[in-house]
Amino acid sequence: MGVRIGALLVALLSVACGPSVVGGTSEVTPPVITIGVAPPKAALQVGKSAQFSATVTGSSDKAVIWSVREAGGGSVTGEGLYSAPSSAGVFHLAAASHA
C-alpha cells in the first residue's frame, strides 16, 4: 500500500495600513496573493520522497512555508521535499505565503 499526497494551498493575505483620513473615508484594497503547487498530487511508496514546488503570484515575496497537515503524515523541508512516513495513508501538504 502506498501514500497519497494532496497539496492544500493556504494563501495568506496581507493588509497594508493606509493613511488616516479625518472627515472622510479611506479604502484599502489588500493584494490578492495566490499560490500554485506542482504537482497537485502524488502517489508514493511508504518511506519514499517527492519534490513539490510552489509559485507565488501577487507578491514580491516569493517564499512559502511548507507543512504537513496530519500528525504522523511524514515531513516536508523548506524547499518542498516531502518524505512519506513508514505507514500508508492519505496526507496533505500546505504551502502558505510568507508575505
Hey, what amino acid is at 60?
S
The answer for residues whose C-beta is within 8 angstroms of residue 29's C-beta and 6 or more apart is none
Cβ atoms of 96 and 32 closer than 8 Å: no
Domain boundaries along the sequence of the chain: 2-15+31-97
Q: How far apart are CA 27 and CA 2, in angstroms?
A: 50
Query: Is pLDDT of 11 > 50?
Result: no
- 84 confidence band (pLDDT: 50, 70, 90): very high
Mean pLDDT of 38-45: 93
Query: Is pLDDT of 6 > 70?
Result: no
Q: How far apart are CA 70 and CA 19, in angstroms?
A: 42
pLDDT of 67 reads 96
pLDDT of 86 reads 93
Q: List, for residues 58-82, the tens digit of each pLDDT value.
A: 999 999 999 999 999 999 999 999 9
